[in-house]
Structure 1
Amino acid sequence: MKPIRIALLDDHAVVRHGLAATLAAEANFEVVGIYARSRDLIAGLASAPADLLLLDFSLNPDELDGVSLIRALRVKFPSCHILVLSTHHDPATVSLAMRVGARGFVGKGEEMAQLVKDIRKVAAGAVYLSTDMTYRLAETVTSDTGQGRGDAPDALVQAELTSREQEVIRCYLAGMTVSEIAEKFNRSIKTISTQKTAAFRKLGVTSNNELFKLNKLIGTP
């Protein structure tokens, strides 16, 4: 049987090396990469592809992580299944990660035997969430609907940028200010600011630095 190639990303050395040692001992598992930095992960996956990536959702402040990293990985390595392993596993975080491309989400309190089963399931193409998390997500949706908010919050909606939002981001990455972009396209500064904010939300970034880091990682023109 073909081995399941696994890559790990976690900024805690004890966690990543402990996981690597345990998973490498499992039948049919091959650990092909152990990474502490998102940039090293992306470079490594290009040269040593993985079938499944075990990804820590929250890294050091200077690292691209969370939603932005998952989006970048889905662009660069669409065939690599992402299983998030994180201490942050509240329903909102889990829902957002799944909507932008993760195939599963596991809390760091998970038993190792169960994690091994989760990895096999996600690597086979299935989606994994614990029964408890599935119920919690269902309760969240039911609660929102009951309060007259049937639509998911904008931050949880995976959507493509509109053509005008693409224009704004392209010009912004080229070094233009909001005022210069407004003048270029003959739109108001308020309109450009609104379109920039909407684009940031859809891209999963919350700051200018995150946008530039995302652009570097995925090589957006």
Structure 2
Amino acid sequence: MSVLRVVLADDQAMIRSGLRALLAAEPDIDVVAEAGDGATALAAVRTHRPDVVVMDIRMPVMDGIAATRAIAAEPALSDVKVLILTTYDEDALVFEAIRAGAAGFLLKDAEPAELIRGVRVTAAGEALLAPAAARKLIGAFAATPALSGPPSLQLEVLTEREREIVTLAGRGMSNVDIARHLVISPATARTHVSRAMIKIGARDRAQLVVFAYETGLVRPGDAA
């Protein structure tokens, strides 16, 4: 059984303690380090090379967005996934964090089972944008004038099939969902998703979702 290595980053020791107790109880999860600020979190990631960083947004010294951006910028840390923990009043920051390279986010009041699942899903490379309200949030911010979409040239690098795949991924579909919708195998869907990510320079699936909104392939309110 492979074990997922996790770094916890939150400026509140009590929250870190609770998260550690929750995750450490799982046989396939190992909390390798904790950090109370973004700079310490970045140092811990460089040292331990975890699979997932559970990252708070608001922290001293360096906030979670800056730390996420720094992690995403280092080629040696390309396999590290960042799962953002947020509250309802940090909606705008959530979108900024995903643009910075976060693989997804969870609300701090999520059920324990959601956090555990979130770590596993994030490590597996799936975008954690659930619940549906989260996808709606992404769409709303992507539709604002300040976030105008990239030029159509970026869409031209994708084949017609890849655009279709990106559209479905942007609507929140998993590879299995996409495979069922298009009547193809999950492996084929996964291959198309991976190729599309490489072509547009998306670090992970969450950024693929943002790309789908920014380019107009998906619009706020579109249903999966």
Q: Which bin holds the TM-score, normalised by the shorter protein?
A: 0.5 to 0.7
The within-5 A match list for 1:90-101 is: 90-101=90-101
Which residue identity is paired with 1:71?
R
**Which residue, out of 48, 73, 76, partners 1:75?**
73
Structure 1 gaps, min length 5: 155-221
Distance apart, 1:18 and its partner CA: 1.0
1:107-157 CA deviation, whole Å, 9 max, x = no partner? 111111111111110100111112111123324445x4xxxx4x6169xxx
Q: Distance in 1 between matches of 2:36 and 2:84?
A: 15
Q: Aligned partners of 2:128, 2:136: CA distance in 1, in Å?
A: 13
TM-score, normalising length: structure 2: 0.60
Task: Give the equivalent residue in structure 1 for 2:153.
Answer: none
Paired residues of 2:52 and 2:81 also in contact (CA < 8 A) = yes
Runs of 4+ in 1 over 3 A off after TM superposition: 88-91, 139-142
> What is the distance in 1 between the residues matched to 2:108 and 2:47?
28
Letter of the 2:69 counterpart: R
Q: How many residues align?
A: 147
Question: What's the CA shift for 1:30?
Answer: 0.8
**Is 1:64 aligned to 2:62, yes or no?**
yes
1:136/1:12 CA distance change after superposition, 3 Å: same
Aligned equivalent of 2:126: 126
Instruction: Provide the C-alpha distance between the structure 2 equivalents of 1:9 and 1:65, rounded to a whole number of angstroms.
Output: 10
Cα distance, 1:139–1:38 mapped onto 2, change above 3 Å: closer
- How far apart in 1 are the matches of 2:94 and 2:46? 27
Q: Which residue of the partner structure matches residue 108 of structure 1?
A: 108
* CA-based RMSD: 2.2
TM-score (norm 1): 0.60
One-letter code of the match for 2:138? L
Counterpart-to-counterpart distance in 1, 2:97 and 2:22 = 25
Q: Contact between 2:57 and 2:85, CA under 8 Å: does it hold in 1?
A: yes
